[in-house]
Amino acid sequence: MSTSRGDLEQYSRIDFDPLVGLPRPPPCQGGTAARPKSGEQLGEIEQSSESANEESGWEEDLCHAICVNNWNDTKAILDQHPNALTAGIRIQHGSRTALHVAAQFGNITIVKELLELLPPEFLLTVDSHGDTALAMACWYNGNTEIAKCLINKNSDIVTIPNEVHFLPVTLAFQSDFKEMGRYLYSVTPLGCFTALSGSELLRFCFQAQCFDIALDLLRQREELLFVPSGHGDETKNTPLHQIATLNTVILSPSELIFWKRWIYDYINIPSTTAINHVSVDIQQDRSQGDQVKLTESGHGLLLRFIPSIDNFVGVKKIQELKLLHAQVHDLLILVCKNARKAYNEGTVIGEALRLAAKEGNVEFLLQVSKAIPEIFLDELMVDCFTEALVYRQDRFFNLIHGLRFKHGLVTGTEADENTLIHTAAMKAPDQILNRIYAPTLQMQRELQWFKEVESLMPPRFKGLRNKNGLTAKELFRESHRELMKEGEKWIKDTASSCSVVGTLIVTIMFAVAFTVPGGNDQNLGYPLFIKQPFFKVFIFSTIISFLSSSTSILMFLAILTSQYSEEKFLKSLPTKLILGLCFLFTSIVSMMIAFLSTTYLMLNHTNYSWGLLPIMILASVPIFLFVLSQLPLLLHTYVSTYGNLFDRNVEPWP
């Protein structure tokens, strides 16, 4: 794909950008172009404004005409007041030219007409806030056509930063205008990306999940990995630190449902070095949307004939997700390539590893450990696994089982004489616990973590006391006292509510068992419908409902009368809750079946047989509502109790 470059043809050497096929100007000599000083520019604008403001009211009329995209009125005002073309239009918080206002509102027609009247150098004019017209478009509307028009008129405009030193391409990604950002990146000289501006661009590319742009820039400027942006803690705000947390912004393949995971495993994607395959084709009509051109497997052949399947199963989104994972993997390779340099320079790689542990980024640790295996001789690894333990990152912590020298990690002590098991005994941060369904399951999860770490510790370490004189068990009991009370209250309330439902079902089914549909034979005493097939369904469903509801009541009663010690939250209480919910669900389903079979026996041979279907539909509503309200609880409790949170079958590493 190509496009006319206008003034850009003056360059003697033009390289084609791998992103969108647009010619990229040669690198800037000495970084970004000198940004016009706001004061000087505004002084000239105000002088023009004073001379042009002989007749009051034109500024307001001109601004209104531009805002409503009325070129005829705009042209009439400019003809009547020639200086208005370059004069500053006073607005609430400053002053802007007509071109700035048109670019801000995304009025491409007026922008094109104004560019015909303005000299190229005027495009470098900044408003009272230090923004060019291109910066306004990048910040407010992301209109790529406006950007193309401005750049074709004067290509230097892409090199003018605003007052906070953000280039137009950075502003576009900051505003999440990815199409414009990709285009501006393709026409911005590489030399414009200085240490600060390059780091800021990478920060917003990571936030916008435009990893292909970040990957392309880092491949050419690897030193940007360690340059902090101008915001936040400089020791924790480099692209390296942002890469360490990328797993938190991308859906993991393990989180996909089974059939999407199957598509993910078998679908093909292009090499991440061929970035043009995933770029936005800015020459296409906007109605066609962004086209992600991926090499397709057998699913792709099917999609050519049945496009609607793509929307139904989300193949395109799965392709994009897999491509994002591939790009993140290549970013990690870049990190490994430069990891030793960062390690030798001090704290940069250490802070990044701690951040990866906090966010559970297993891949980051594995890749860095391959590049710097001696890092495990440092106390840094103790800090990393401690951080993973504090924030309950199970996938990261599981790696400790594969370490060849894990004994040194689990037996270390901190400055306050806390061992690893003391750390496990402390309550997890609220933002971690709140991800778990209920207080009872939160308490269970805390116990699971404590037991897991306890199993790693040598016996003599389990009774050690910290500087406060507390053993790990005493610290656990003290720090989880409130959570234990909340868990006890929650499971008691749940058991009480469910036992009320179970009691009602027992009462109903006991009465139904002696009130059979159709009545009994007056002579023999047998039910009149005893030979009907559905009568057997009625009898068995009634018995099952009565017995299962009775059992569920016993389970909930066992919960209410249980001893609420810490150990009970680990298996006993959750198991009773699972059994109680399962039996209660069975009793409700059986009761509905008994009701439907009775209705069928009574109405099947009457003139009201047409009502069977509506009754069946209505009878399914209580079942659906119960499933909707209680099934998530049942599933969460089962997975939390019998799922494999910790995996000890980890391959030895590093």
**What are the phi and psi torsion angles at 330 (to 5°)?**
-65, -35
Reference 541, options 614, 581, 591, 490; nearest CA is: 591
How many percent of the chain have pLDDT more than 70? 79
Rg of the chain's alpha carbons, rounded to an integer?
35
Q: Per-residue pLDDT for 463 more than 80?
A: yes
Per-residue tokens: 423: 């750390």
H/E run at residue 302:
helix 298-305
Q: How confident is the model at residue 189 (pLDDT cuts 50, 70, 90)?
A: very high
User: 144-153 vs 133-140: helix axis angle to the nearest 10?
Assistant: 170
Q: Per-residue pLDDT for 282 more than 80?
A: no
Q: Are residues 344 and 200 in the same domain?
A: yes
Q: Per-residue pLDDT for 286 more than 60?
A: no
| DSSP string of 364-413, one letter each residue | HHHHHHHH-GGGGGSTHHHHHHHHHHHTT-HHHHGGGGGBTTHHHHHT-B
Mean pLDDT of 36-54: 47
Reference 187, options 339, 45, 8, 46; nearest CA is: 8
Q: What is the 3-state secondary structure (H, E, C) of 269-290?
A: CCCCCCHHHHCCCCCCCHHHCC
CA atoms within 13 A on the CB side of 224: 27
Q: What total of structural domains would you count in the chain?
A: 3
Last residue of a domain, one of 378, 398, 422: 378
Q: How many other CB atoms sit within 10 Å of the CB of residue 223?
A: 11
Q: Could you tell me the pTM of the whole model?
A: 0.77
Q: Are residues 159 and 256 in the same domain?
A: no
Q: How far is CA 156 from CA 184, 508, 569, in A?
A: 12, 83, 67
453 domain-assigned: no
pLDDT digits (tens, 9 = 90+) for 287-300: 343 333 333 444 44
pLDDT digits (tens, 9 = 90+) for 336-351: 888 887 787 766 788 8
Mean pLDDT of 559-570: 92
Report the pLDDT value the prediction gives residue 519, as an integer from 0 to 100.
62
**C-alpha–C-alpha distance, residues 42 and 92, integer Å:** 15
Lowest mean pLDDT across 149-153, 237-241, 431-435, 529-533? 529-533
Q: Are residues 294 and 344 in the same domain?
A: yes
CA atoms within 13 A on the CB side of 588: 22
Report the pLDDT value the prediction gives residue 232, as an integer from 0 to 100.
58
Category of 303 on φ-ψ map: left (φ > 0), alpha (ψ -120 to 50) or beta: alpha
Q: How confident is the model at residue 548 (pLDDT cuts 50, 70, 90)?
A: very high
**C-alpha–C-alpha distance, residues 324 and 328, integer Å:** 6
488 domain-assigned: no
How many percent of the chain have pLDDT more than 90? 46
Lowest mean pLDDT across 66-80, 405-419, 573-587? 405-419
Q: Could you tell me which residues come within 8 angstroms of residue 106 by beta carbon, excluding any fewer than 6 positions away?
A: 137, 140, 141, 143, 146
pLDDT digits (tens, 9 = 90+) for 309-329: 555 567 888 888 888 888 988
Residue with the two structure tokens 């962004």: 290
Residue with the two structure tokens 């690897």: 222
Q: Are residues 45 and 157 in the same domain?
A: yes
Q: Are the C-beta atoms of residues 25 and 151 closer than 8 Å to each other?
A: no
Report the pLDDT value the prediction gives residue 418, as an integer from 0 to 100.
83
Report the pLDDT value the prediction gives residue 617, as an integer from 0 to 100.
81
**C-alpha–C-alpha distance, residues 319 and 264, integer Å:** 7
Q: What angle do CA 508, 510, 513 make, to 5 degrees?
A: 105
| DSSP string of 209-227, one letter each residue | T-HHHHHHHHHH-GGGGG-
Highest mean pLDDT (candidates 20-24, 57-61, 379-383, 474-478) = 474-478
Highest mean pLDDT (candidates 163-172, 321-330, 515-524) = 163-172
Q: What angle do CA 488, 489, 493 make, to 5 degrees?
A: 120
Q: How many other CB atoms sit within 10 Å of the CB of residue 457?
A: 17
User: What is the residue-averaged pLDDT of the chain?
Assistant: 81
Q: Per-residue pLDDT for 63 more than 60?
A: yes
Mean pLDDT of 80-108: 89
Q: Find residue 16's DSSP bridge partners.
A: 23
Report the pLDDT value the prediction gives residue 513, as an integer from 0 to 100.
76
Reference 244, options 326, 398, 341, 357; nearest CA is: 357
Q: Are residues 198 and 131 in the same domain?
A: no
Q: Are residues 218 and 179 in the same domain?
A: no
Q: Per-residue pLDDT for 252 more than 60?
A: yes
74 domain-assigned: yes
Q: List for the chain the helix, strand, coil content (%; round to 5).
A: 65, 0, 30
**C-alpha–C-alpha distance, residues 586 and 525, integer Å:** 31
| DSSP string of 254-266, one letter each residue | GGS-HHHHHHHHH
Q: How confident is the model at residue 527 (pLDDT cuts 50, 70, 90)?
A: low
Mean pLDDT of 249-268: 77
| Amino acid found at 198 | G
601 domain-assigned: yes
Lowest mean pLDDT across 143-157, 221-235, 239-253, 556-570? 221-235
Q: Are residues 125 and 204 in the same domain?
A: no
Q: Per-residue pLDDT for 644 more than 90?
A: no
144 domain-assigned: yes
* Higher-pLDDT residue of 263, 286: 263
Q: What is the DSSP letter of 497?
A: H
Q: Per-residue pLDDT for 242 more than 70?
A: yes
* Higher-pLDDT residue of 53, 450: 450
Last residue of a domain, one of 191, 206, 236: 191
102 domain-assigned: yes
Q: How many other CB atoms sit within 10 Å of the CB of residue 642?
A: 11
Q: Per-residue pLDDT for 492 more than 80?
A: yes
Helix (H, G, I), strand (E, B) or coil at 32: coil
Lowest mean pLDDT across 188-192, 398-402, 605-609? 605-609
Q: Are residues 132 and 265 in the same domain?
A: no
Q: Per-residue pLDDT for 302 more than 70?
A: no
Residue with the two structure tokens 């990571």: 206
Q: How many residues does the chain have?
A: 654
Q: Are the C-beta atoms of residues 638 and 441 closer than 8 Å to each other?
A: no
Q: Are the C-beta atoms of residues 583 and 548 closer than 8 Å to each other?
A: yes
442 domain-assigned: no
Report the pLDDT value the prediction gives residue 306, as an integer from 0 to 100.
45
Report the pLDDT value the prediction gives residue 97, as an integer from 0 to 100.
93
Whichever domain contains 180, its CATH number is 1.25.40.20
| Amino acid found at 409 | L
Q: Are the C-beta atoms of residues 160 and 168 closer than 8 Å to each other?
A: yes
Highest mean pLDDT (candidates 277-281, 409-413, 549-553) = 549-553
Which range of residues forms the domain containing residue 118? 6-191
**C-alpha–C-alpha distance, residues 38 and 500, integer Å:** 73
Q: Per-residue pLDDT for 371 more than 80?
A: yes
Q: Per-residue pLDDT for 518 more than 70?
A: no
Q: Find residue 90's DSSP bridge partners.
A: 95
Q: Are residues 341 and 207 in the same domain?
A: yes
Q: Are residues 349 and 207 in the same domain?
A: yes
Reference 502, options 545, 440, 544, 560; nearest CA is: 545
* Higher-pLDDT residue of 198, 270: 198
Mean pLDDT of 412-435: 87
Q: Are residues 148 and 230 in the same domain?
A: no
Last residue of a domain, one of 351, 378, 405: 378
Q: How confident is the model at residue 491 (pLDDT cuts 50, 70, 90)?
A: very high
Helix (H, G, I), strand (E, B) or coil at 126: coil
Report the pLDDT value the prediction gives residue 273, as an integer from 0 to 100.
59
Q: Are residues 85 and 162 in the same domain?
A: yes
Q: How far is CA 260 from CA 301, 311, 314, in A?
A: 18, 13, 8
Report the pLDDT value the prediction gives residue 516, as an integer from 0 to 100.
72
Q: How confident is the model at residue 409 (pLDDT cuts 50, 70, 90)?
A: confident
**C-alpha–C-alpha distance, residues 562 and 557, integer Å:** 8
Q: Are the C-beta atoms of residues 310 and 316 closer than 8 Å to each other?
A: yes
Residue with the two structure tokens 């705000």: 237
Report the pLDDT value the prediction gives residue 345, as an integer from 0 to 100.
72
**C-alpha–C-alpha distance, residues 420 and 450, integer Å:** 10
Q: Could you tell me which residues come within 8 angstroms of residue 120 by beta carbon, excluding any fewer than 6 positions away?
A: 7, 153, 154
311 domain-assigned: yes
**C-alpha–C-alpha distance, residues 77 and 71, integer Å:** 10
Report the pLDDT value the prediction gives residue 13, as an integer from 0 to 100.
30
Report the pLDDT value the prediction gives residue 447, as an integer from 0 to 100.
96
